[in-house]
C-alpha cells in the first residue's frame, strides 16, 4: 500500500463507495426483477380475465391473430435514454380456452406445434411454469370464468421485458459518470483536510535550532492536536535537558576551578620555597588537590553516565557485604576524626543491582556521614528487611501478601541539616548552610541517581539519639531469594 496518506485515503474512500454502489445496484436489480415478475404475472392474469369474457367466435378470431404483450413498442422520435426499457422484438401470448367439460373452444395454433394442445389443465387458478418444446413458459390458469370456461395463457420465459435491464442501466450510468467527479472531490477534500500537517511540517522545518518553545499552528484539528502536543512535550523535555546540562556544565566548571586554582598556588609555593620541608608540604597539598579534582571528575562522569540511562549488567548481591567493604575503605577517614562506625547488617538480604554502583552508593553515604559528622561521634550502617506498606485499605482487607524490601540506612549523630535544606540535599553542588567541611556537593545527588536507577526510594530523617542525619534507601528485594526463604525446610 502506498505510503501517502492522501492517496491511501482516496483509494479507501473510492473503493468503499464503489462497493456500496455495486451492492446497491445488485439489490436494486434483484428488487426490480421481482417487481417486474409480479407485474407481468398480474398482466397475464388480466389477459386471462379478458379472454374469459369473450364468446367463442371472438376467441377463434383472436386465436388466429396475435396477442402482443410488449409493455412498450418503439416508435416515433425517442432518445436513447427513453428506449432503455422498450421491447425491441414482438412477444406473443398463447392461450387456450376450454369448456367446463374440458373441450377446447379456441386456442393459439402454435400450441399444437409445441405439443401443448392436450396439456392437462391445473386444478386450481394460479401461475405455473411449464416446459414446451424445450423452452420454459410462464402460464396462468383461470378457472370458472363468468361464462363457465377455463382460460390458460402462456408466455415464453426468455422474452421478458427489457424493463429490468433498463432500470439497472439508468441506475448504473450516473454512478459511472459520478465516480471520476467524486474522485476529484475526494482528492481535493483530503488534501484540504491534511493541510494542518503541511503547516506543522513547515513550521518545524523553518524553526531555528535554538528555538525550543512549543509549536503553535493555530486552531489545529482534533486529529492533529495529539501530534502537536507530543512534539511540544518532546521540545519541553529537550529544553529542560539542555537547561539542566548548561547548569551542570557551569556548576562543574565552577567546582573544578577552585581546586585547580589551589593546585596552581601550591605549585608556585613549592617552586619558590627554598626550605625543603615547606616545599614538601606544598607538594603534598598539590597531590591532595589533584586527588580532589580527580574524585570530582569521576563523580561528574558517573552522573553523566547515570543521566544517559546506560544499560548496566545487574546481578543479585548482598548489600551488607558491600557495606562492609565500604567501611574498610573509609576506616582511615573515620579514625582521623575518632568516629566509631557500627555495622548492623542482615547478610542474607539480597537486591538486584550493579555491584560497583552500590559500592559507590555506600562510599558516598559513609564519606558524607564522616565528613559532616562530629569528632568522636558515632555512625551506624544498617541493612535489614522490611515489608512494603499497604497503600490501599482494599489490599489490606483482601489479605494481599506484602512485598519485601531491603532497607539500607546510614545514620550519624552530627550537627544534622536544617529543615529548610532537607529538600535540596540531592541537588547537584548543593552544600548545607553553615557547613565548613570540604566537598563538591555531589555525593547525595549521586546516591539519589543510583537509587532511582535501580527502582529504590530515598528519604531523609533524624539520626542517632535525636541528632544528626539519617539517609534511608529502600530497594526491592531479590524475588528469587525471597521465594527461596519462604520454602519450608526439608
Q: Which domains does the chain have, with CATH numbers?
A: 5-72+85-167 (3.30.450), 225-304 (1.10.287.130), 313-486 (3.30.565.10)
Q: How far is residue 161's CA from residue 169's CA, in Å, rounded to a whole number? A: 14
Classified as helix, coil or strand, 148 is: coil
455: left (phi over 0), alpha (psi -120 to 50) or beta: left
Q: What are 432's three cell numbers?
A: 548545607
Identify the pLDDT of residue 163. Answer: 62
How far is Cα 140 from Cα 44, in angstroms, rounded to an integer? 6
Q: What is the pLDDT of residue 85?
A: 47
Q: What is the pLDDT of residue 87?
A: 52
- Stretches in the chain below the pLDDT threshold 50: 1-2, 73-86, 391, 397-398, 480-486, 489-490
Long-range pairs, 392-396, Cβ under 8 A, ≥24: none
pTM for the model: 0.47
Integer Cα distance of 188 and 193 in angstroms: 9
Give the model's pLDDT for residue 152: 93
Q: How far apart are CA 439 and CA 142, in angstroms?
A: 118
Residue 446 has what pLDDT?
79
Q: Where do runs of H (alpha helix) occur along 144-275?
A: 163-193, 195-205, 225-272
> For the packed helices 276-307 and 225-272, what is the interaxial angle rounded to 10 degrees?
170
Q: Across 21-167, where does the E strand assignment appear?
A: 94-98, 104-107, 126-132, 135-142, 150-156
- Decide if 354 contacts 321 (C-beta within 8 A): no
The crossing angle, in degrees rounded to 10, of helices 355-372 and 443-453 is 150
Q: What is the pLDDT of residue 153?
A: 92
Pairing verdict, β 340-345 and 135-142: unpaired
The reported pLDDT for the residue numbered 411 is 92
Q: What is the pLDDT of residue 79?
A: 47
C-alpha cell at 199: 503547516
Amino acid at each position: 500500500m502506498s505510503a501517502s496518506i492522501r492517496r491511501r485515503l482516496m483509494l479507501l474512500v473510492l473503493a468503499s463507495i464503489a462497493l456500496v454502489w455495486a451492492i446497491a445496484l445488485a439489490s436494486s436489480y434483484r428488487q426490480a426483477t421481482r417487481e417486474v415478475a409480479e407485474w407481468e404475472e398480474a398482466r397475464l392474469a388480466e389477459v386471462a380475465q379478458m379472454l374469459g369474457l369473450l364468446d367463442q367466435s371472438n376467441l377463434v378470431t383472436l386465436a388466429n391473430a396475435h396477442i402482443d404483450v410488449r409493455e412498450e413498442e418503439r416508435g416515433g422520435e425517442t432518445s436513447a435514454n427513453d428506449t432503455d426499457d422498450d421491447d425491441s422484438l414482438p412477444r406473443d401470448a398463447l392461450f387456450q380456452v376450454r369448456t367446463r367439460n374440458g373441450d377446447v373452444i379456441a386456442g393459439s395454433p402454435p400450441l399444437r406445434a409445441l405439443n401443448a394442445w392436450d396439456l392437462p389443465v391445473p386444478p386450481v387458478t394460479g401461475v405455473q411454469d411449464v416446459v414446451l418444446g424445450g423452452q420454459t413458459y410462464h402460464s396462468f390458469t383461470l378457472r370458472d370464468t363468468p361464462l363457465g370456461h377455463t382460460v390458460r395463457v402462456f408466455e415464453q420465459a426468455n422474452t421478458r421485458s427489457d424493463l429490468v435491464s433498463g432500470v439497472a442501466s439508468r441506475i448504473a450510468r450516473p454512478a459511472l459518470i459520478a465516480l471520476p467527479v467524486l474522485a476529484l472531490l475526494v482528492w481535493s477534500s483530503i488534501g484540504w483536510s491534511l493541510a494542518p500537517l503541511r503547516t506543522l511540517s513547515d513550521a518545524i522545518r523553518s524553526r531555528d535550532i535554538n528555538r525550543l518553545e512549543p509549536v503553535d499552528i493555530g486552531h489545529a484539528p482534533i486529529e492533529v492536536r495529539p501530534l502537536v502536543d507530543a512534539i511540544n512535550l518532546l521540545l519541553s523535555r529537550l529544553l529542560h535537558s539542555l537547561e539542566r546540562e548548561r547548569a551542570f556544565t557551569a556548576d562543574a566548571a565552577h567546582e573544578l576551578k577552585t581546586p585547580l586554582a589551589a593546585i596552581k598556588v601550591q605549585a608556585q609555593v613549592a617552586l619558590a620555597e627554598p626550605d625543603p620541608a615547606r616545599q614538601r608540604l606544598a607538594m603534598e597539598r598539590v597531590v591532595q588537590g589533584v586527588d580532589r579534582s580527580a574524585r570530582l571528575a569521576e563523580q561528574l562522569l558517573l552522573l553523566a553516565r547515570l543521566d544517559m540511562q546506560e544499560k548496566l549488567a545487574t546481578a543479585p548481591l548482598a548489600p551488607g557485604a558491600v557495606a562492609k567493604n565500604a567501611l574498610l575503605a573509609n576506616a582511615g577517614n573515620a579514625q582521623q576524626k575518632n568516629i566509631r562506625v557500627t555495622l548492623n547488617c542482615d547478610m542474607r538480604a539480597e537486591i538486584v543491582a550493579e555491584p560497583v554502583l552500590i559500592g559507590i552508593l555506600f562510599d558516598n553515604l559513609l564519606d558524607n556521614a564522616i565528613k559532616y559528622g562530629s569528632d568522636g561521634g558515632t555512625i551506624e550502617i544498617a541493612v535489614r528487611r522490611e515489608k512494603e506498606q499497604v497503600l490501599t485499605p482494599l489490599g489490606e482487607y483482601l489479605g494481599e501478601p506484602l512485598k519485601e524490601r531491603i532497607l539500607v540506612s546510614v545514620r550519624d549523630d552530627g550537627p544534622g541539616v536544617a529543615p529548610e535544606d532537607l529538600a535540596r540535599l540531592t541537588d547537584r553542588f548543593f552544600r548545607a548552610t553553615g557547613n565548613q567541611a570540604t566537598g563538591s556537593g555531589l555525593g547525595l545527588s549521586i546516591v539519589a541517581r543510583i537509587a532511582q536507577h535501580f527502582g529504590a526510594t530515598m528519604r531523609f530523617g533524624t539520626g542517632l539519639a535525636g541528632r544528626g542525619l539519617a539517609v534511608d534507601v529502600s530497594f526491592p528485594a531479590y524475588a528469587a531469594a525471597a521465594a527461596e526463604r519462604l520454602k519450608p525446610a526439608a
